[in-house]
Structure 1
Amino acid sequence: MERHIRRAAVIGSGVMGASIAAHLANVGIPCLLLDIVPGQLTEDEKRKGLKLDSKEVRNRLAVNAIKRLKKTKPAPLYDGDLASFITPGNIEDDLGRIKEVDWVVEVIVEKLDIKKQLFKRVEKVWEKGTIVSSNTSGISINAMVDGLSEEFKKHFLGTHFFNPPRYMKLLEIIPGKQTLPEIVDVMNRFCEKKLGKGVVIAKDTPNFIANRIGAYSMHVTLNEMLDKGYTVEEIDACTGPAIGRPKSATFRTLDLVGLDTFVHIANNMYEKVTDEAEKQVFKVPDILQNLVEKGWIGEKAGQGFYKKVKNEKGKKILSLNVQTMEYEPQKKAVGASLEAAKMAKGTKQKLKSLLSLQDRYSELAWNTLKKVLIYSAEKVGEIADSILEIDEAMKWGFNWELGPFETWDAIGLETSVKRMEAEGSSVPQWVKDWIEAGNKSFYKKQEGTTFFVSDGAYKQLEPKPEVISLRTLKEQKKVVKANSGASLIDLGDGIACLEFHSPNNAIGADILMMIEQSMEEVRSNYDGLVIANQGRNFCVGANLMMLLMEAQDEEWDEVEHIIRMFQNTMYHLKQFEKPVIAAPHRMTLGGGVEVCLPADQVVASAETYYGLVEVGVGLIPAGGGCKELICRLSNSVTNPEADIQPYVNKIFETIGMAKVSTSALDAKKLGYLRNNDTVVVHQDHLIYEAKQAALRLVQQEYAPKPKVDIRVVGSEGKALLKLGAYQMRLAGYISDHDQLIANKLAHVLAGGDVPAGTRVSEQYMLDLEREAFLSLCGEPKTQQRMQYMLSKGKPLRN
């Protein structure tokens, strides 16, 4: 019988436990959150006359944890209302309730003896067949259940979430010696498909995969700094984007994680590993120990390797001089290899550029990188079955662009091994055997299929039907049409995908032309169209630089042509006779939203930050954004006597304040997404789900949307909107220019100067949008805002 996880219990309501409960709530899994019973009353509880046996007191830790979820940043919940899925309790009164759930996850203090005591208690009330796991970051899974029944052990495993659980992709599943394979399969499937995680299977070894390799990388980098006298800034310059790692690099990452947490991980490794040379690498350097003793443990203490201080300009970040233990102004690391890496495109080219020039920073990158590569190769078979789990763990858990073995391929496997051996490094025999057998890389691609080394031979990476890779489809020659801004790709089964690939996926004439051409192609040869891409963000809006240049040159005919072209293309997309599905992810702003609005359905990644933000650059939406939200409102209110002004007010506020959703669910609350739009938690599955949505519409014998007139609030409604803007100006909340923009927006959303209740055409509304947009483009203060956004990346208030 197939198992399903429909309810869960989390034991431990600290930051991690509460956040795991929150993510379960995000995906609709009701969750019991348990913690210990407090031993003392708070002053507030005393004032209320509560006793230690009051339920409110006994559940206090879990109750307070749920309250904190709504205030925590970054938000653990997609929407604060989802906290209702979490029920607070305590392990004295409510432990027996775990009989009601399908999965129990322990998230208490990282001490083996305390965990063992808890699992003894859990086993006494445990319902046979219920899955139980520990969210440990490094304690032995087998040791936790030593002495418990064989049946309990069969249903027990490790499930190591990375923090914060909502946002971090990696989840390590660690089976115990007795864990049933079917239990591992159930958790693997559930965590990937329901929780949206990238799952790797790890072995029960100290710190598992990602923390093992990540901690080793941190230590060799620290040791290199101390041995060679590098500064904190120099280390971070060489161990961040220059080698495909996050901007936080080494020391900002340590500050974020917490130096005390890192020392705990390092000590765990030092105690558990048996190889003496490896043990010495994990020995905590004196400097780290000193910082922890001083309480300088990173971001949560306000200082670690970096420290924020206030100055006349606001805030300034100082860096630690590890020689003097004083904080000093940062000194930018400058070198030929760093500059070469900065100029190179793509991680592979950055790595080659950084390592090819023999200078101080090239040497630093090489000396740390080679040790991590060799160490990773030594651990294949010990911490994971193959190189694939190690690479995926580092990419998903530490946000590396390339895993260790992908990095090795990028820098050249043969040449790098020769250099390592020439310098006296000991490369694992299996790597040398692999090269001697005539292989030049750990991975290879053949006709769009990926192979990786496993047990001395290339093994095919089994494709998952839910994961559609546009890059792989392009390698398989599935591109139907393409230009500089976009491509039309055959997804199979009669569905085509329109992919944006301009810089930042910004919309310009090339993308608009490809949308029109794609509709022609789909009209003749396909059943439906998906609009999706796999860039960092779906679309950050229209090409602002091009628009500003035309406005500054007063090429108003050209500006009007661009806007009219955008409007016409979106209108054609809305009236297209085949189903259109939009699949946005991450930043989807301005014109990116306007591309999605005409679609029959939006299938959005849960992590979609969606908003019409044009007022931030002194403009209003003019690609149909204003028109489409008012059109949806008009269509949804069937009673001709109903007052729609309150709903128009809400749209006015949403656009006028440039509100951006914090998730796809929040986008529904803001009115950007409709009830029939769906949310996908696993972003890698997004295009697959969008394709399935298109196929369902095809099977339902899709018919194009009928043209309907739009009911507007007219001049009376406009006056109310303008009054609201006027009051905000009087109160000092907005500037004169903000008020001007708000008045233009009010004119458009109200449908101009017609009587209330008038029905107007979509083209009429588009004309209002375009006229308002053009007039704002000519305003010097709007051009200043556009310029500021392009140069500073944030809005200007003028």
Structure 2
Amino acid sequence: MLRMKKVAVLGSGVMGASIAGHLANVGIKAYLLDIVPSQLSDKEEKLGLSLEHKAVRNRFAQTGKERLTKEKPSPLYTKDVLELIQVGNLEDDFQLLSEVDWIIEVVVENLKIKQDLFAKIEGVWKPGTIVSSNTSGISVHDMVEGRSEEFKKHVLGTHFFNPPRYMKLLEIIPTKYTDVNLVHEMKAFAETVLGKGVVIAKDTPNFIANRIGTYGLQITLQAMEQMGLNADEVDAITGRAMGRPKSATFRTLDLVGLDTFVHVANNVHATATDAVDKDAFTVSDTLVKMVENKWLGSKTGQGFYKKVGKEILVLDTKTFEYKPKSKFKSTSLEASKRAKSKAEGLQALVYGKDTAGELAWTITKKVLLYSANKLGEIADDIVAVDQAMKWGFNWDLGPFELWDAIGVEKSIAKMKAEGDTIPAWVEEMLATGNQTFYKQEASKDYQFSIGGKFTEIEEDAKKINLAKLKAEGKLIKGNKGASLIDIGDDIAVLEFHSPKQAIGADIINMINHSVKEVGSNYKGLVIGNQAQNFCVGANLMLMLMEAQDHNWPELDMMVRQFQKAMGSLRTLDRPVVAAPFGMTLGGGVEVSLPADRIQASAETYMGLVEVGVGLIPGGGGNKEMLLRWTEGVNPGDKVSLQPLVNHVFMTVAQAKVSTSGEEARQYKFVREMDGITANNDFLIHDAKQVALGLYNAGYKAPKERKIPVVGETGYNVLRLGAKDLMWGGYISEHDYKIASKLAYVLAGGLVAEGTLVSQQYLLDLEREAFLSLIGEPKTQQRMQYMLAKGKPLRN
């Protein structure tokens, strides 16, 4: 695989700076260069600086770097990574390009400017250095016109989607000159190191995702005007019901910026050679007028939507006045919501006989036919198209997956009845007796191609698919909440699949079974799943019901069983590796902490958040955090112990949640010895490799160690800090009660400072505090509010 030690990013606008930021996220040093300002700013004049001053000459790049700390959501895993970004300018620092492994051009979308820059780059270019453009639509082939053959071999397009940290898609666009091996190497590097989902696109206007996505937005706008609807009515139809994001169509346009969208549409229109594209990408008068009015969306405060006070108004495109949103109702939408599967829901909507059905069908039909017609021109296979739309536009299904879901034969019959022409290769597929674009045989996946046959879809060996393994008979044991799956090489995965992966009796039972099974027959255990989130915590509804019924023995038993299950993970004589990702909260953290290693996704949001519902961690979370923070502390060193316990107290009492896997290290949810995986698709594989490595190194379960505590003295210190916050009006009396209980547990009770206590002693304190809090009426109010509203109550 390619090794990138240094990369130069040319252009420090939103995309350039964010790309540099993401390179720094994964540990790569980035030079961020931009043009030299032609005049002083007011601030520079007041400081008495000249145009020759270094701070002035680097101003644009420095501003871009500083902007990374202000954007939300943050483009950075932690602010510490900024140290890897060195700013400069395209005059004084151009020679730095001769020492980097990769040069990324992210300057203004102007062919002449890019061609001139590429000519200048070749003047300092070190043979073998990769050069790429982040263009969103200009031909990469045209950019390298006039360059040497050797230089051209190392040039390609690398189209990141904004924001680069969070958007999975990276389109790689080779030219006819690009070295084929380089394309494969860049794909592997981007997937593994940058965490991207890569598709190989043809060098055509707007490539794959923006080509189809912009087309879809354009025809939706046209359909809205033809049907006399408004944006809010269309968004009610084109959001989750159609497998699209909640922002649907026009809220998405507002977020993107109408000026940006118009630029992308005009780019295709200007280069289109066929009448279909010319017509489809003609910007409507509505959009032209909105851009002229500077109604560009979120960045100008109004677009298709406008917020006035707490009310969201919608633009009436007929009168160009804002009005309250309507409550759109539809029989087909309701039928879609009641459907038992995604496919049934889509069919209920697109074949509906009302306004929603008509709009959904019109949009879907046109997108499907357009995608099929452009196959071969924009991409070589349907997988690339489907993945581009899922990763770049957050669709649940790509066009060809969607076509399979609504029924290819049924939809084509309807299209033909409406006078549409079906692409020949799709007709050929049906003529040969095939009813779908995708099929599975003998555990292998196949796609239909333009060549008239099914070809196997090659998957990276690092992509372990748990659902597929279960379908292949690799399930060891399962219940409603969890499954134990054989993933090969004598490693098993414990998968949570309860609603929201919440921990209940089923999961605890499966943990206990997994410990026995793995201890007897496997080399190691991975705890992970492939849902939206790793685990959002314990089953709050179940606990609240038991508390309201005053079923204290049952609650006590539940907490004891959870604590015991966590202890069995810690003492298992086989390596246990937790693979958290996404929301990993409360009990999800408590499941991860006893593991021998954590292999976390780069996008992991970990936190012990129980105080938000009036509780403290009850499954060993407090004890495990004390273990981590006091590791290596001399029991007799009383001075150093209190600050460490203070850290744990503040982390738990403030329900701190990491904003990345890397930031989780700062709270010690993730340790230095633990790993981070950039690409979530590879997370289970990476965790498996860690488990195998530990086993092959002669793994032995850790011996239990006693924990030094701050005792009564430290308890009073923690409680006094909480009381000051209550007196200052920052926390309520009930917050103080929770903090006091937490302080008591973390201090180890009223023992002498420096006392060594057993882990079971701390677990008992933790369980008692948890049970006393759950009996509090105000805690139960908080739990009920969280279940109803999805946010904490301050009472």
Check whether the contact 2:6–2:30 (CA below 8 A) recurs between aligned residues.
yes
Question: 1:627 maps to which residue?
Answer: 623
Check if 1:451 corresponds to 2:446.
Answer: yes
1:299-346 Cα distance to aligned partner (Å, 9 max, x none):
111111111221xxxx22211111111111111211111112222344
Question: 1:29 maps to which residue?
Answer: 28
Distance 1:4 1:763 in 2: 47
Check if 1:423 corresponds to 2:422.
Answer: no
1:639 positional shift? 5.6
1:458-481 Cα distance to aligned partner (Å, 9 max, x none):
111112111101011011110000
The normalised TM-score by structure 2 is 0.99
Question: 1:544 maps to which residue?
Answer: 540
Question: 1:664 maps to which residue?
Answer: 661
Distance 2:573 2:652 in 1: 30
RMSD over aligned CA atoms reads: 1.1
Check whether the contact 2:635–2:754 (CA below 8 A) recurs between aligned residues.
no
Distance 1:631 1:670 in 2: 13
Question: 1:434 maps to which residue?
Answer: 429
Question: 1:797 maps to which residue?
Answer: 794
Check whether the contact 2:635–2:708 (CA below 8 A) recurs between aligned residues.
no
Distance 1:344 1:54 in 2: 66
Distance 2:660 2:260 in 1: 29
| Local SS of the residue matching 1:291 | helix
Distance 1:632 1:54 in 2: 48
Check if 1:373 corresponds to 2:368.
Answer: yes
Question: 1:683 maps to which residue?
Answer: 680
- 2:43 maps to a residue whose letter is D
1:623-678 Cα distance to aligned partner (Å, 9 max, x none):
00001111223333136325210010111001000000000110001221111111
Distance 2:205 2:634 in 1: 63
Distance 1:409 1:783 in 2: 47
1:101 positional shift? 0.2
- 2:508 maps to a residue whose letter is L
Check if 1:779 corresponds to 2:776.
Answer: yes
| Local SS of the residue matching 1:635 | coil
Farther-moved stretch of structure 1 (343-352 vs 556-565): 343-352
Question: 2:61 maps to which residue?
Answer: 62
Question: 1:734 maps to which residue?
Answer: 731
Check whether the contact 1:347–1:401 (CA below 8 A) recurs between aligned residues.
no
1:520 positional shift? 1.1
1:759 positional shift? 1.2
Check whether the contact 1:627–1:766 (CA below 8 A) recurs between aligned residues.
yes
Check if 1:614 corresponds to 2:610.
Answer: yes
| Local SS of the residue matching 2:630 | helix
Check whether the contact 1:243–1:347 (CA below 8 A) recurs between aligned residues.
no
1:96 positional shift? 1.3
Question: 1:755 maps to which residue?
Answer: 752
1:537-579 Cα distance to aligned partner (Å, 9 max, x none):
0000000011111111111111111111111111111111111
Distance 1:666 1:435 in 2: 52
Within a 5 Å distance, the mapping from 1:108-147 to structure 2 comes to 108-147=107-146
Question: 2:572 maps to which residue?
Answer: 576
Check whether the contact 1:320–1:326 (CA below 8 A) recurs between aligned residues.
yes
Question: 1:588 maps to which residue?
Answer: 584
Distance 1:155 1:762 in 2: 58
From 644, 647, 650, the counterpart of 2:647: 650
Distance 1:619 1:710 in 2: 23
Check whether the contact 1:584–1:604 (CA below 8 A) recurs between aligned residues.
yes
Distance 1:51 1:375 in 2: 55
Question: 2:632 maps to which residue?
Answer: 636
Question: 2:472 maps to which residue?
Answer: 476
| Local SS of the residue matching 2:545 | helix
| Local SS of the residue matching 1:288 | helix
Distance 1:640 1:526 in 2: 41
Question: 1:567 maps to which residue?
Answer: 563
- 2:440 maps to a residue whose letter is K
Distance 1:34 1:4 in 2: 22
Question: 1:350 maps to which residue?
Answer: 345
Q: 1:613 to 1:345 in 2, by over 3 A?
A: farther
1:583 positional shift? 0.1
- 1:741 maps to a residue whose letter is I
Distance 1:343 1:252 in 2: 25
From 371, 393, 396, the counterpart of 2:391: 396
1:46 positional shift? 2.1
Check if 1:500 corresponds to 2:499.
Answer: no
Distance 1:574 1:717 in 2: 28
1:404 positional shift? 0.3
Farther-moved stretch of structure 1 (70-79 vs 43-52): 43-52
Question: 2:766 maps to which residue?
Answer: 769
- 2:321 maps to a residue whose letter is E
Distance 1:552 1:352 in 2: 43
1:401-446 Cα distance to aligned partner (Å, 9 max, x none):
1000000000111111111111111110110111010001000112
From 301, 313, 318, the counterpart of 1:318: 313
Check if 1:744 corresponds to 2:762.
Answer: no
1:251-299 Cα distance to aligned partner (Å, 9 max, x none):
0110111000000001011111111122111100000011111011011
Distance 1:424 1:329 in 2: 38
Check whether the contact 2:609–2:656 (CA below 8 A) recurs between aligned residues.
yes
Q: Matched residues, percent identical?
A: 58
Q: 5+ residue gaps in structure 1? A: none
- 1:167 maps to a residue whose letter is Y
State how many pairs are aligned.
Answer: 793
| Local SS of the residue matching 1:703 | coil
Check if 1:14 corresponds to 2:13.
Answer: yes
Check whether the contact 2:630–2:644 (CA below 8 A) recurs between aligned residues.
no
From 402, 407, 412, the counterpart of 1:407: 402
From 484, 491, 506, the counterpart of 1:488: 484
1:145 positional shift? 1.6
Check whether the contact 2:635–2:755 (CA below 8 A) recurs between aligned residues.
no
- 1:494 maps to a residue whose letter is D
| Local SS of the residue matching 2:761 | helix
1:690-714 Cα distance to aligned partner (Å, 9 max, x none):
0000000100111011011111111
Farther-moved stretch of structure 1 (129-138 vs 330-339): 330-339
Check whether the contact 1:494–1:527 (CA below 8 A) recurs between aligned residues.
yes
Q: 1:168 to 1:29 in 2, by over 3 A?
A: same
Check whether the contact 2:2–2:189 (CA below 8 A) recurs between aligned residues.
no
- 2:403 maps to a residue whose letter is W
Check whether the contact 2:629–2:648 (CA below 8 A) recurs between aligned residues.
no
Check if 1:511 corresponds to 2:511.
Answer: no
Farther-moved stretch of structure 1 (478-487 vs 352-361): 352-361
Check if 1:601 corresponds to 2:600.
Answer: no
From 359, 366, 377, the counterpart of 1:364: 359
Distance 2:512 2:742 in 1: 28
Check whether the contact 1:479–1:490 (CA below 8 A) recurs between aligned residues.
yes
| Local SS of the residue matching 1:530 | strand
| Local SS of the residue matching 2:672 | coil
Distance 1:768 1:320 in 2: 58
Check if 1:226 corresponds to 2:225.
Answer: yes
1:721-761 Cα distance to aligned partner (Å, 9 max, x none):
00000011111111111111000100000001111111111
Distance 1:486 1:368 in 2: 39
Distance 1:610 1:687 in 2: 18
Check whether the contact 2:175–2:203 (CA below 8 A) recurs between aligned residues.
yes
Distance 2:89 2:627 in 1: 50
